[in-house]
A and B are shown apart, each in its own frame.
Chain A
Amino acid sequence: MPEETTQERTTIGLEAVDRIIHEPARLAITARLYVLEEADWLFLHRQTGLSFGNLTSHLTRLEAAGYVSMEKTFIDRKPHTVVRMTDEGRGAFERYREQMRGWLEADAFT
């Protein structure tokens, strides 16, 4: 029971946080894409340290949410995926950032 109370307390004010972005791996991806016009799949793999499967899975989730768009082409007969953050994704990331900033700077911990 005390554990439940602690859990409730730590999540107060975080209900509205976008869970799609909040997940650490997706946060790592979106934080990088936010400052970029576009990046390819290999860049995101190197920067985030996510495995091939994990990265694909998280990018698919972000694409389904409309936060990123992916363009698949071939260069020298090798697949080449370029990822861009959509306007919707940028808006969602900015909202997430403000929410987290507000939550961390609030008196929740005092």
Chain B
Amino acid sequence: MLLYYTQDGLWDLCLGACVVAWGLGIRFDFVALHGAFCGLAVVLVWALKKVITHPRAGYARMREGGPLQRRFTKALAITVVLGLVVFLLGIVAFELVSGNGAIVLRAYFPVLFGGMVAILFAVIATWVHQPRFYVYALLIFLAGVVHQWGGVELWIAVATAGTAIIVGGAFVLVRFLRNNPKPDEGVDA
């Protein structure tokens, strides 16, 4: 059932766009850009679902308090909490902590932060049962690694990972459109 929510690749495109925005936010030192863009991307996905997904895959609404919604809510809560932890750790590492520990944290911050975001993606992969999200997690982690030890600028590494995720999402979307044509005229839709 959860495949219904991820089969069109729109969430992949949304996540990819958010990662690209994250990279651009680093480049232009404008973190608010990232937050605003992510919010816009989520709204856009809901709108596109109505235009692209519902006419092809049909429409369904989860039952309030039903088993599927309980599982969905639990997974969403875990993801949000993990996301907040990642965000707060980032702030703590950069702004608040002092001493030797912070120096180590600062030195390896891109890898550590990339790893935490990767864990977030892996959690999403687990609850939506989509192995491709593990690949996205790996891409995020690799962005931190290539910046840390490869000398690539962080914003380029992150934006490249985001672009790769967008390409993956576009591939899934094209496959979805090909496999799920709109029903013929007159057929119940």
- A residues whose Cβ falls under 8 Å from a Cβ of B: 32, 34-47, 52, 75, 78-82
Contact with A along B159-189 (1 / 0, CB 8 A): 0000000000000000000001001011111
Task: Return chain A residues, CB-CB under 8 Å to B188.
Answer: 40-42, 52, 78-81
Contact with A along B1-22 (1 / 0, CB 8 A): 1001000000000000000000
- B residues whose Cβ falls under 8 Å from a Cβ of A: 1, 4, 55, 57-64, 66-68, 180, 183, 185-189
**Sample (29) of A-B pairs whose CB atoms are under 8 Å apart:** A32-B1, A34-B63, A35-B1, A35-B63, A35-B67, A35-B68, A36-B63, A36-B68, A37-B61, A37-B64, A37-B66, A38-B60, A38-B61, A39-B59, A41-B58, A42-B59, A42-B188, A43-B59, A46-B57, A46-B58, A46-B180, A47-B4, A47-B58, A78-B189, A79-B188, A79-B189, A80-B188, A80-B189, A82-B59
Q: How far is the CB of B114 from chain A (nearest CB, A)?
A: 36
User: Do residues A42 and B61 form an inter-chain contact, with CB atoms below 8 A?
Assistant: no
A46–B67 Cα distance when bound, in Å, is 21
Nearest-neighbor residue (CB-CB) of B63 within chain A: A37
User: Do residues B61 and A39 form an inter-chain contact, with CB atoms below 8 A?
Assistant: yes
Q: How far is the CB of B65 from chain A (nearest CB, A)?
A: 10
User: Do residues A42 and B58 form an inter-chain contact, with CB atoms below 8 A?
Assistant: yes
A-B contacts besides A40-B60, A78-B186, A79-B186, 6 pairs, CB < 8 Å: A34-B66, A36-B66, A36-B68, A37-B63, A43-B58, A43-B59
Q: How far is the CB of A60 from chain B (nearest CB, A)?
A: 13
User: Do residues A42 and B1 form an inter-chain contact, with CB atoms below 8 A?
Assistant: no
User: Do residues A45 and B58 form an inter-chain contact, with CB atoms below 8 A?
Assistant: yes
> Which 4 pairs between the two chains have the least Cβ-Cβ distance?
A43-B58, A42-B58, A39-B60, A35-B68
User: Do residues A44 and B58 form an inter-chain contact, with CB atoms below 8 A?
Assistant: yes
